[in-house]
């Protein structure tokens, strides 16, 4: 397994950036991996040619600057995995088979498709919409385009994430994925209409992550001055559900940060106090990493060994 500093995967298109950036510290001192699957800011030219929306409209679905908010975790010995391509181009927090056949031309083949309600609403692995009333495409797009995105971006990202989790588990007997996201301050498509808190922690209602770890992270964010809620309205996405397996000591938690805390949601620009918010989040991450081994569940495991 490769585990090099700042390794990446390059798509076939030489003009494209790597599919991801893996920021691995020189000395890996803990089992934490902080992933940012939705903060990519690269929009391929072929995507612009297919899309009816302009760049600003497309950027409204970004978890803009989330990678910047969590940048620096490597100083604490943790690893950061950052997607480079835009969420509206390819949603890495979906299963690879969450495809909506009706938005493509061409034969989808004998692939088993998960046509769940989210996909039917246009929010599959290849999104059809940015939000309500904002379709991305004028008409159908070739199915080969979807397969190309999956092959060049989706597969390298998830293979790397899986490799990193396996490596951390082998080294430390446990692994922790913190999946980093942002959320709009107001209502979102298909979501509740109430205003959001500052932070939403998603552990799939206690099934993807140790409850001790969720409680620790909740306490640290509250002590840092944030308003925190668990699992509502975001209990965790594909990565949290897929990689979280507490019984095997692989823990996955989704963190959603209210965009109004650090950016102008209309212009997609950082606010003046962005650095202050980033430092508060860095402090929480540092304390999270430092305190993990003292959690009751971790102490019980050590005693058993």
Domain ranges of the chain: 7-304
Q: What is the pLDDT of residues 78-108, one digit of tens each?
A: 999 999 999 999 999 999 999 999 999 999 8
| pLDDT tens-digit profile, the chain (305 residues) | 334 334 444 444 557 899 999 999 999 999 999 999 999 999 999 999 999 999 999 999 999 999 999 998 999 999 999 999 999 999 999 999 999 999 999 998 888 999 999 999 999 999 999 988 899 999 999 999 999 999 999 999 999 999 999 999 999 999 999 999 999 997 654 455 566 899 999 999 999 999 999 999 999 999 999 999 999 999 999 999 999 999 999 999 999 999 999 999 999 999 999 999 999 999 999 999 999 988 876 644 654 45
Mean pLDDT, the chain, whole residue set:
91
Interatomic CA distance for residues 96 and 238, integer angstroms: 10
Q: Are 113 and 97 in contact (CB under 8 A)?
A: yes
Q: What is the pLDDT of residues 267-294, one digit of tens each?
A: 999 999 999 999 999 999 999 999 998 8
Which segments of 224-295 does DSSP mark as H helices, in order?
238-243, 274-291
**Peptide bond between residue 233 and the one before it cis (omega within 30 degrees of 0):** yes
Q: Are 128 and 149 in contact (CB under 8 A)?
A: no
Across 163-283, the runs of DSSP E, i.e. the strands, are 175-183, 199-202, 228-230, 250-258, 263-264, 269-270
Architecture of domain 7-304: 3-Layer(aba) Sandwich (3.40)
Interatomic CA distance for residues 14 and 261, integer angstroms: 36
Please state the pTM of the whole predicted model. Answer: 0.91
């Amino acid at each position: 397994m490769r585990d090099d500093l700042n390794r990446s995967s390059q798509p076939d298109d030489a003009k494209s950036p790597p599919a991801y950036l893996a920021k691995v510290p020189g000395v890996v001192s803990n089992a934490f991996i902080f992933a940012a699957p939705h903060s990519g800011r690269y929009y391929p030219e072929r995507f612009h040619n297919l899309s009816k929306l302009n760049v600003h409209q497309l950027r409204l679905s970004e978890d803009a600057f989330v990678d910047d908010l969590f940048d620096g975790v490597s100083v604490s010995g943790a690893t950061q995995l950052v997607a480079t391509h835009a969420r509206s181009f390819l949603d890495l927090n979906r299963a690879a088979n969450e495809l909506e056949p009706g938005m493509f031309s061409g034969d989808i083949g004998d692939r088993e498709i998960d046509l769940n309600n989210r996909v039917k609403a246009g929010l599959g692995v290849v999104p059809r919409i940015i939000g309500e009333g904002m379709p991305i495409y004028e008409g159908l797009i070739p199915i080969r385009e979807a397969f190309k995105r999956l092959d060049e971006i989706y597969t390298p990202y998830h293979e790397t994430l899986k490799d990193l989790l396996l490596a951390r588990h082998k080294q430390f007997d446990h692994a922790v994925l913190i999946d980093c996201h942002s959320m709009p301050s107001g209502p979102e498509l298909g979501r509740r209409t109430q205003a959001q808190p500052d932070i939403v922690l998603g552990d799939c209602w206690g099934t993807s992550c140790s409850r001790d770890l969720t409680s620790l992270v909740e306490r640290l964010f509250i002590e840092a001055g944030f308003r925190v809620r668990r699992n509502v309205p975001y209990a965790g996405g594909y990565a949290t559900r897929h990689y979280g397996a507490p019984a095997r000591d692989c823990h996955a938690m989704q963190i959603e940060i209210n965009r109004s805390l650090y950016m102008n949601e209309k212009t997609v620009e950082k606010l003046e106090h962005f650095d202050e918010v980033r430092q508060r989040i860095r402090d929480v991450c540092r304390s999270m990493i430092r305190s993990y081994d003292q959690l009751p569940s971790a102490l019980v495991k050590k005693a058993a060994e």
